[in-house]
Amino acid sequence: MTSVLEQLLSVFWLRPETAIWRYLDIEAMKSFEFEGRSLDFGCGDGLFSFIRAGGRFSAEFDAFQKTEQLDRFYENADVYDAYDESFDPLVTMPASYQISVGFDHKANLLRKAAALGFYKETIEGDGNGPLPFDDDSFRSIFSNIVYWLDNPISVLTELRRILEPGGAICLMLPNDTLPEYSFYNSLYVETKDERWKWLELLDRGRLSDNIKQSKSDEDWREIFARAGLSVSHHSQHLPKTIIQTWDIGFRPMFPALMKMVNGVDRQKMPGIKAEWLNALKMFATPLAAMGAINDERSAFHCYILSK
């Protein structure tokens, strides 16, 4: 297992399905590098990009250090949208480079990102509207949120505007196979069978509210062309097995797991977490190997675009 996967499992130890997904994203975008003035568009708390850049945390740190609204978890509350001055990311190794700008619409996540010392600047704003950047102002842009936004052509047109000639945009975008791999979508939305209505609790708004765009390669390329962008690289990752593992994972039990962890003696926690991680690795390693397959039926595209 690579140190990247190990680090992701440590940081997301209570949500290992997220760690595997993020690892496969990193593998998929190996041919993309941040160069020149750079933008992480939708950076969130910055953990993904920081780990991809070689940053490392102590074993005591995890992504759940500051969470709120656990009692509203099944009402689709963002439990990670929380911050106070006690937040400490416990960095043991800085990233091998910095990103010029981290952009996101949630102030608490940006405060977490800023604490990493990884972004030269963080800016709060709405990705659906005009972006607060000059034309031709970034050499490299990464985003994993375009499909969460309302109008992909409008967003991509803005990203093209702020991209330097000769620069590159790396995007992660859902394939049209993603909805059919969702238990909620395939068993409830498509069938209207009320026996499966409880799967709304599993979906938590992901497909119903957040993943607004799932398209074939052909359809995405048409959108890119309309936005004035061309494809220089395309691959696919996250096959059905990985998506269905992620669809359930430890998600349903997350609030209870957090309360349980918070009740554990702090002196005992390192040993418990180490044992937990050793067990996770037995499953995560073969799953990650399966998920790296580049298959046209896989649920996500990775694109590198230029103008």
Angle at 26 between CA 25 and CA 32, to 5 degrees: 110
Which strands, in side-by-side order, build the sheet including 119-124? Answer: 119-124, 99-104, 38-41, 138-143, 163-174, 300-306, 230-237
**pLDDT for position 208:** 59
Assign residue 131 the CATH number of its domain: 3.40.50.150
Q: Do the beta carbons of residue 141 and residue 101 sit within 8 Å?
A: no
Domain with 30 in it = 3-176+214-306
Q: What is the pLDDT of residues 56-73, one digit of tens each?
A: 999 999 999 877 776 666
For residue 12, being part of any structural domain is answered with yes
**pLDDT for position 211:** 60
Q: Do the beta carbons of residue 204 and residue 210 sit within 8 Å?
A: no
For residue 84, being part of any structural domain is answered with yes
**pLDDT for position 246:** 87
Among 102, 89, 94, which Cα is nearest to 43's? Answer: 102
**pLDDT for position 41:** 99
Count structural domains, the chain: 1
For residue 184, being part of any structural domain is answered with no
**pLDDT for position 204:** 67
pTM, two decimals, is: 0.92
In this prediction, the residues of the chain whose per-residue pLDDT falls under 70 are: 1-2, 70-77, 79, 204-212
Strands (E), 98-198: 99-104, 119-124, 138-143, 163-174
For residue 183, being part of any structural domain is answered with no
